[in-house]
Amino acid sequence: MNIMSYKGYAARIEYDAEDEIFFGKLAGITDGIGFHADTVADLKVSFHEAVDDYIETCAKIGKDPQRTYSGKMMFRVDPEVHARAAKAAELSGKSLNQWAAEVLAKAASKAA
């Protein structure tokens, strides 16, 4: 994955071949903050400016810059995946919820 990180914020980087630019969007925030540049070096500067501006703006208006999450997740998986996950949880002595939370936390720490 092409990810940039700065001050605890991250963005996935993509390339637009038609416009010949690199672009990204901050992840994990409530607002849509994007940035772009023609070169990787300029993209890094643009990303840092976007993060700094966002943090400053949120501070000025008294807004928490990070998106808040309830901790509740609901998603569908293939029944076979569900069965294998339930079995793995049971074999590890955990509920499916506990097991899935640990697996997701481990996977998410690799992405952050």
pTM for the whole thing?
A: 0.72
Name the residue with higher pLDDT: 4 or 112: 4
The reported pLDDT for the residue numbered 69 is 84
Indicate if the pLDDT at residue 30 is higher than 90: no
pLDDT, tens only, 36-88: 999 999 999 999 999 999 999 999 999 988 888 888 988 899 999 999 999 99
Long-range contact list for 31-38, CB < 8 A, 24+ apart?
35/11
Place of tokens 């996977």: 107
State the average pLDDT over residues 96-104. 93
Q: What is the phi/psi pair of residue 111, to 5°?
A: -85, -25
Whole-number percent of the chain with pLDDT over 70: 98
